Amino acid sequence: MERLPLSAPDIRDEDVAAVTAALRSGMLSKGPWTARLEQEFADYVGVPHAVAVSSGTAGLHLCVRAVGAGDGDEVVTTPFGYVASANSILYERARPVFADIDEASMNLDPAAAAAAITPRTKAVLPVHVFGEPAAMGELVGLCAARRVALIEDACEAIGAEHRGRRVGSFGDTAVFSFFPNKQMTTGEGAVITCRDAKTARLLRELRNQGQAEDGAPMVHEHVGYNYRMTELSAALGVTQLARIEEMLATRERLAGLYRERLAAIPRARLLAPGAATTRLSWFTAIVRLDAELDRAWVIDRLARAGVPARPYFEPIHLQPVYRRMFGYAPGDFPIAERVARSTLALPFYNRMNAAQVDRVCDALAEAVECVAA
C-alpha cells in the first residue's frame, strides 16, 4: 500500500511563476520581493513592522539578542516544543529557565512562568505549540508587571487568534517559520514581527552582518549574522501568503474530519482549542493517546499500514545536551513529560483528502484496538 506523507508543501503554478520571476530578475537577495513580503506580512498580523530572515531559529536568536540577553541572564520558556526555542537563548550565552506547561493547551503555564522569573530574567518566551495560542492575556500582564520582554514563538501558528487577536501582535517580538511542513512555506525562512521601529531597525541590521541600515556600505554597527532571506524564498512567501486564509480553512476542514473519525477512538483524542482560542491554526494533527497504550507499538502498526506517525515533541530538558549541560532529569517538569509521552502526530497537509483521513483513522483504530487487547 502506498505510504502517505506526514506533511507536504502546497506548491501551485503561481508559486513557481513568482520564484521564476525572482530568479530571472537577477536580484537574488535584498530585493523587492523581500520588502513586499515584509509589508504584507506585517499587515496580515496587524503590526507596524516585519523582518524576513533565513529561518525560524535565526529569527528567535535575533529576538533574544534584541532584548540584550547575555552572560548571567535568564529567559523563561517552555520545556515542551521544538528545541530551537531554547537553543536560541543559549546562542547568546544566557540560560533557558524552563517552567512547566498547562496540560490542556500544552503551552507554557503563566503561573509556573511567574514563579520562574528572577532578577536575572530578561524575557519570557512562550511557544504557541501546534498552532494553539498560549495564554497571552496573562503572559502580557505578567511581563508588564515584572518589566521583562515578551518574545512569541509563533513558528507553528500563523493566523492563530487569542480572544480575537492574531498571535504575533502581543509580544515585543514574534517569529513565524515557513519550513516546508508549516501551514505556508518559503522552503527555508521566517518573518519576525514587532511594534517598535527601533527594534525593527536593529533586527534588520543584525540579519545583515550588523551593517548600518542607512550608513555607508561596509560599515558595521554590530556583530551581526548572515540571516537574510533570499529573493526566491520571499517570492514564494508572497504567493503563499496571498492564499493563506484558503489554506488555513482547508486545514480547519481536515481537522474537522479527523475530529469526526477519532470520536470513535476514545483512546486517541485530537487537540482541541482552548476557551480563549478564537482560532487554532492547524500545524499538524496531534492526538494524545491514553497512558496505558504503547505508543511505539502504535507507530509501528501504523507504519505497516503505510501511515507515518511520530512523537511530537520530546521534552527539551531531557534532550541529551540539556541533561549534560544543566543536569536535568526525568521528573523535573512532570506535566510536560506526561504530555510528551502521549502525543502522536498523524499525516496532515493541505492536499490531503477525506479518503486519506479515513485510511489514517482506520489504521489508528486497528492499532489501538490491538495494543489494548
Can you give the pLDDT of all 373 residues of the chain as single tens digits? 689 999 999 999 999 999 999 999 999 999 999 999 999 999 999 999 999 999 999 999 999 999 999 999 999 999 999 999 999 999 999 999 999 999 999 999 999 999 999 999 999 999 999 999 999 999 999 999 999 999 999 999 999 999 999 999 999 999 999 999 999 999 999 999 999 999 999 999 999 999 998 877 889 999 999 999 999 999 999 999 999 999 999 999 999 999 999 999 999 999 999 999 999 999 999 999 999 999 999 999 999 999 999 999 999 999 999 999 999 999 999 999 999 999 999 999 999 999 999 999 999 999 998 876 5
Same-domain status, 150 and 238: yes
The confidence score (pLDDT) of residue 370 equals 83
- 235 and 270 both lie in a single domain: no
Residues 255 and 356 in one domain: yes
Among the candidates 242, 277, 307, a domain finishes at 242
487554532: which residue's cell? 280
266 with 177, same domain: the answer is: no
**Residue that finishes a domain, picked among 187, 219, 242:** 242
Q: Are residues 44 and 186 in the same domain?
A: yes
Q: Cα separation of 152 and 165, whole Å?
A: 14
Q: Are residues 54 and 135 in the same domain?
A: yes
Would 278 be classed as within a structural domain?
A: yes
Angle at which helices 231-242 and 32-45 cross, to 10°: 40
Are 233 and 161 in a shared domain?
yes
- Cα 277 to Cα 21, 127, 161, 272: the distances in Å are 39, 14, 6, 10
Structural domain contains residue 6: no
Answer yes or no: is 103 within a domain. yes
Q: At what angle do helices 231-242 and 244-262 cross, to 10 degrees?
A: 60
Q: Cα–Cα distance between 13 and 91 in angstroms, integer? A: 39
Read off the CATH number of the domain in which 282 is found.
3.90.1150.10
Give yes or no: residues 337 and 229 share one domain: no
Would residue 155 count as lying in a domain?
A: yes
Q: How many CA atoms lie within 13 A of 192 on its CB side?
A: 33
User: Looking at residue 214, what is its pLDDT?
Assistant: 84
Q: Looking at the structure, do residues 236 and 296 belong to the same domain, yes or no?
A: no
Question: Could you write out the DSSP letters of every residue in 175-230?
Answer: EEE--TTSSS--SS-EEEEES-HHHHHHHHHHHBTTB-SSS-TT-BSS---B-PPB
List, in order, residues 6 or more apart from 194 with CB less than 8 Å away: 47, 48, 49, 50, 51, 172, 173, 174, 200, 203
Judgement on whether residues 229 and 254 belong to the same structural domain of the protein: no
Do 139 and 33 share a structural domain?
A: yes
What DSSP character marks residue 101?
Answer: B
pLDDT digits (tens, 9 = 90+) for 90-117: 999 999 999 999 999 999 999 999 999 9
- If asked whether residues 225 and 277 sit together in one domain, one would say no
Domain that holds residue 76: 13-242
**What is d(CA 201, CA 36) in angstroms, rounded to the nearest whole number?**
17
User: How many other β-carbons are positioned within 10 Å of the β-carbon of residue 162?
Assistant: 24
Residue 372: its pLDDT value, please?
Answer: 60
**What domain count does the chain have?**
2
369 is written with which cell numbers?
A: 484496538
Residue 7: inside a domain: no
| Spatial contact of 142 and 111, defined as CB atoms under 8 Å apart | no
Q: Is residue 333 part of a domain?
A: yes
Tell me whether residue 4 is in a domain. Answer: no
- Domain CATH for 152: 3.40.640.10
Q: Which among 211, 242, 273 is the end of a domain?
A: 242
User: Does residue 2 form part of some domain?
Assistant: no
**Separation of alpha carbons 39 and 55, rounded Å:** 18
Preceding peptide of 130 cis, ω within 30°:
no
